[in-house]
Structure 1
């Protein structure tokens, strides 16, 4: 039996279950992520589209086409950002919407668009990595 994750929006209307291995957990500071969430840095994890089930009473989230390859997802009731549905087919979910975001499999291992964050902003992902990890320090 594969691992299952659950989560949802602020009001509970949009809920999901994700099955299988979480892929590419990372943080991102690109302008699109900043505007999508209102945060300077977001934390994401990816699942194949066919491993996601929308289980809440609101069904699947609303989408807005944000690029040539992806649509951002959100709850039409409370406005919570949930992630992105890519054309690949991949669903990237914001780690903050998981019921148990402290699961080690969701821990970001890289940071994208470091140059887009304000100079004073430091998303210290490396502090959570074991000191013996050779990639610690590459995530400033």
Structure 2
């Protein structure tokens, strides 16, 4: 069985996921944009029974932005971490995986809320590293 690990930037919190993951979901809602400061949030939807904390389970701060929307972050580095408010699933922030997933984006949600700048310009540049 495949086991993947993930952690926050400082390493205080770490988790593992058992089994395959179908792909990444991108949420473009205004709450996810504000919470991340980006175009949205990339998540993995993992059944609760396949997720477990390896360390630092008590090292998070959860912010309840609305009754149905929370964001948990590491107390030390502020990394957005898996959301555990759903009884069935854990919503794992895809960027916290420690190794490649081997899957791409499978679903975009709340596209009507997508920021107007969340698109490529015709002359967009692509660089393997930061341009000099």
Describe the SS at the equivalent of 2:62: strand
Matched, 1:121 2:98: no
TM-score normalized with structure 2 length: 0.77
Greater relative contact order: 1 or 2 (C-alpha under 8 angstroms, separation 6 or more)?
Answer: 2
Give the whole-Å Cα distance in 1 for the aligned partners of 2:37 and 2:8. 15
* Equivalent in the alignment of 1:103: 101
Higher-strand-fraction structure: 2
Q: CA RMSD in A?
A: 2.0
Q: For 1:59, which of 57, 60, 66 is the aligned residue?
A: 57
Distance 1:69 1:120, change over 3 A: closer
Describe the SS at the equivalent of 2:116: coil
Give the whole-Å Cα distance in 2 for the aligned partners of 1:32 and 1:22. 25
Aligned length: 119
Distance 1:88 1:122, change over 3 A: farther
Distance 1:119 1:69, change over 3 A: closer
* Equivalent in the alignment of 2:129: none
User: How far did residue 20 of structure 1 move?
Assistant: 1.7
* Equivalent in the alignment of 1:21: 20
* Equivalent in the alignment of 2:130: none
1:31-61 per-residue CA deviation (whole Å, 9 max, x = no partner) reads: 11112211112211111222211112x2343
* Equivalent in the alignment of 1:94: 93
Structure 1: segments with no counterpart, 5+ residues: 124-140
* Equivalent in the alignment of 1:37: 36
Superposition misfits of 4+ residues, deviation over 6 angstroms: none
**Greater displacement, 47-56 / 67-76:** 67-76
* Equivalent in the alignment of 1:112: 109
Structure 2: segments with no counterpart, 5+ residues: 121-132
